[in-house]
Structure 1
Amino acid sequence: MRWFGPGGTRRVLLAETDVRTGGAYQVGFVTEDGLEHYASGHYQEVEHPRRLVFTWAWRDTPDETSLITLEFTAAGTGTELAFLQTPFVDQATRDGHEHGWSGAFDRLADHLASPA
C-alpha cells in the first residue's frame, strides 16, 4: 500500500494478495491524472525466497494477460531483483508497462530507504 504504482501515483486503493501457488491478487491505484487503474492475476510459482511468477491483466483489458517473473538473488547486504514481463500485444503496451514498472521500482527503493 505504501509504494505500489508508477511514478506520480497519488494513492494505492487496493492491495490484496494470497501469495501461494494458485492464489490470487488484486491491486488498484490512482495516478496523477486522477484515473483509477486495477490489475489482478494468479500466482503460478512461489519459491520463497527465490522466485515469484504470476499472471497480470488490467481490469479494462482482461484478455491481454502477461506473465511476470521475479527472481531474487542475494547480493552483498541486499537483494538483486530480476524482472521479466511477457508477452505484450504491441510495442506501445510494452513501453507503457516499462514506464509504470520503472516508476514502481523507484517508489519501492524510496520506501526501503526511508526510516521505518
Structure 2
Amino acid sequence: MSMNAESHAYARVTRRFDTSPERVFDAWLTPELIGRWMFGPAIRDEEIVKLTTDARVGGAFSYVVRRQGEEIDHIGEYREIDRPRRLVFTWAVAPDPIDSSRVVIDIEPLESGCALTLTHELAPEWADYTSRSEAAWTRMLDTLAAMLRQDAP
C-alpha cells in the first residue's frame, strides 16, 4: 500500500514524564518493559505470548498477545533510532503489510524530565480510527509514566 502524505490521518498524543529522556526512550525497545506498559494485563484483558525486538534500523519487532483465546501479532520495522530523541517505526497487525502505518516518537528534554510526542500516521481509510488510536496510546503512555515512577531509583 503506498501512502501519500496528503491523505494521511494522524493520531497525535503528547505527554510529559518526570524522568530522563533515556529512560523513556529505552522503554520502547526493551521487551521486559514493553510487557509492562504497552501490552499485557496492566493495559487490557490479554496475556503476553511473546515479545521480540531487533532494535536497529531495518530490524523488526513482533508483539504477540492472546485476547479472548485469539493470538494477535503486532508487527513493525524500525526506521529511525536516534536515542534518546527520536524513534520511528512501522506498525501493523499481521497479516497486514508490515508498513500499514507509521509511528513517530519525538522526545524533548525539559528542565525536569521530558515531553514525548507520539504521532501515529494512518492510511486514509483509517481516518475514523484516529480518536480510538489516540485513546489507546494515551492509556499506554499513562501506564508507562506510572511504571517509570514505580521503578525510579
Instruction: Give the Cα–Cα distance (whole angstroms) in 1 for the partners of residues 145 and 114 of structure 2.
Output: 12
Could you tell me whether the CA contact under 8 Å between 2:109 and 2:115 is conserved in 1?
yes
The match for 1:40 among 75, 84, 89 is: 75
Taking every aligned residue pair, what percent have the same amino acid on both sides?
29
Instruction: Give the Cα–Cα distance (whole angstroms) in 2 for the partners of residues 44 and 95 of structure 1.
Output: 25
Identify the residue that residue 74 of structure 1 maps to in structure 2. 109
Q: Which has the higher strand share?
A: 1
Q: Which has the higher helix share?
A: 2
Q: TM-score, normalised by structure 2?
A: 0.63
Q: TM-score, normalised by structure 1?
A: 0.80
* 1:27 Cα offset (Å): 1.3
* 1:96 Cα offset (Å): 2.8
Which amino acid letter does the alignment assign opposite residue 4 of structure 1? M
Which amino acid letter does the alignment assign opposite residue 5 of structure 1? F
Could you tell me whether the CA contact under 8 Å between 2:76 and 2:99 is conserved in 1?
no
Q: Report the aligned-residue RMSD.
A: 2.4
Residues matched between the structures, number: 115
Could you tell me whether the CA contact under 8 Å between 1:27 and 1:38 is conserved in 2?
yes
**Unaligned stretches of 5+ residues in structure 1:** none
Identify the residue that residue 98 of structure 1 maps to in structure 2. 134
Which amino acid letter does the alignment assign opposite residue 38 of structure 2? F
Q: Which has the higher contact order (CA 8 A, sep 6+)?
A: 2
Which amino acid letter does the alignment assign opposite residue 70 of structure 1? I
Is the alpha carbon distance of 1:35 and 1:66 closer, same or farther for their aligned partners in structure 2, counting shifts above 3 Å?
A: same
Identify the residue that residue 39 of structure 2 maps to in structure 1. 5
Is the alpha carbon distance of 1:2 and 1:52 closer, same or farther for their aligned partners in structure 2, counting shifts above 3 Å?
A: same
Instruction: Give the Cα–Cα distance (whole angstroms) in 2 for the partners of residues 109 and 34 of structure 1.
Output: 29
Larger radius of gyration: 2
Alignment partner of 2:36: what SS?
Answer: coil
